[in-house]
Amino acid sequence: MSDDEGEVPTYEYAGDTKVLVDLSEIPHGYGKAKYPNKDRYKGWFVDGKRDGPGEYKFKAGGKFVGTYTQGIKVGPGVQTFPDGSKYEGPFVNDKFNGFGKYTYANGDFYEGEWVDGKREGNGNYFVKASKATYFGEWSEGTFVAGDCTFADASTYEGTFNNKGPTGSGVYTFQPRNRLCETFVVTGAQGLDGFTNAVIQADA
């Protein structure tokens, strides 16, 4: 979802302007714009481009509230999307970069580090449906290592891929009215997390 602004302004505009040497005027200062694709923006302009704090509303739904530099999103901002999902955090070159929070339409959320619009580095992901929380290392948007805490307080620590746990790890059960029991899990893989897994009591 990109903002609609070309090199030469071709949109409807009302607001402050700057007079050029040829006596034409370009947006400069505070103003409101309506673009050919029906998106709308209100905020600050410098030399015809969005520059400074502003709010950009998309015709398809959703909006961005934050700061621009020469038409590019930079610094802290909030972007909502047509499905109701929302990102809160810093932007660099129009992309999520730094420590931010993304709340998904289904109620899941990720809070942690981003690089060029992808989950990258340390962060935690909460799954609303299962009440599980994944915390650890992310790479290219995929959880690759760390631990998962389940709704019953059981935990799994190990390595992961985009299908769930993979390789070996340690699963600690938390049954009611019983002490913790720790098991070593090997060969875990699959959407349910433990397809074809071998579980042995930790000595």
Q: How many domains does the chain have?
A: 1
pLDDT at 160: 87
pLDDT at 198: 43
Cβ atoms within 10 Å of 105's Cβ, excluding its own: 11
Residue 99 in any domain: the answer is: no
Residue 188 in any domain: the answer is: no
In terms of C-beta density within 10 A (0-12 exposed, 13-18 middle, 19 or more buried), how is residue 185 classed?
buried
Residue 104 in any domain: the answer is: no
pLDDT at 186: 55
Residues spanned by the domain of 1: 1-88
Residue 11 in any domain: the answer is: yes
pLDDT at 56: 98
pLDDT at 13: 94
Residue 100 in any domain: the answer is: no
Any idea what the CATH number is for the domain that residue 32 is in?
A: 2.20.110
pLDDT at 200: 47
> Are β-strands 109-115 and 98-103 bridged in parallel, bridged antiparallel, or unpaired?
antiparallel
How wide is the angle at C-alpha 146 spanned by C-alphas 139 and 122, nearest 5°? 50
Could you give phi then psi for residue 73, rounded to 5 degrees? -70, 130
Cβ atoms within 10 Å of 193's Cβ, excluding its own: 20
pLDDT profile of the chain (203 residues), mean per 10: 54 93 92 95 96 97 97 97 97 97 97 97 95 94 92 87 78 60 50 43 46
124, 109 in Cβ contact below 8 A? no
What is the pTM for the complete model shown?
A: 0.82
Residue 139: closest CA among 111, 156, 118, 125: 118
Cα–Cα distances (Å) from 172 to 147, 150, 160, 161, in that order, read 11, 10, 17, 20
How wide is the angle at C-alpha 143 spanned by C-alphas 125 and 81, nearest 5°? 50
pLDDT at 197: 43
pLDDT at 150: 87
Residue 164 in any domain: the answer is: no
Residue 14 in any domain: the answer is: yes
How wide is the angle at C-alpha 173 spanned by C-alphas 108 and 161, nearest 5°? 50
Structure tokens at 56: 């950009």
Residue 155 in any domain: the answer is: no
